[in-house]
Structure 1
């Protein structure tokens, strides 16, 4: 009972095709492929972000340093 022959797998595949249809299976596999592709892209982006030193990350995120503007109306000459 533990081993399935090739004929069993063919019957299982035909039942799945009848239940879901060829279009639904190909759509599902396409979505699965897109998910794997985006997962791999996310992993490679994380690896690249770990290569940059932390100081470069902080400088890139904080932006330029801006000095506060003094109020010129209240100054006396």
Structure 2
């Protein structure tokens, strides 16, 4: 079992697009981007509150 070539990945991509459609893939990408952005903001807030001692 060797490594996959570019042609294997292109075929997989075409199958995924045919199954889900471009609109659903776009929505999933936006949701994932929003989740990553929210996670980064949460980590930033957590490190800011940990750096300042409570009064």
Aligned ranges 1:20-39 → 2 under 5 Å: 20-39=20-39
> How many residue pairs get matched?
55
Where do 4+ consecutive residues of structure 1 move more than 4 Å?
A: none
The structure with the largest helix share of the pair is 2
RMSD: 0.9
- Normalized against structure 1, the TM-score is what? 0.66
Residue by residue over 1:31-77, the C-alpha shift from the partner in whole angstroms, topping out at 9 and shown as x without a partner, is: 000000000000000111112222x1xxxxxxxxxxxxxxxxxxxxx
The structure showing larger relative contact order (alpha-carbon pairs under 8 Å, at least 6 residues apart) is 2
Query: Quick one: distance in 2 between partners of 1:2 and 1:40?
Result: 37
- Which structure 2 residue ranges, 5 or more long, are not aligned? none
Q: Paired residue for 1:12? A: 12
TM-score (norm 2): 0.90
1:13-47 CA-to-partner distances (Å, cap 9, x unmatched) read: 00000000001001001100000000000000011
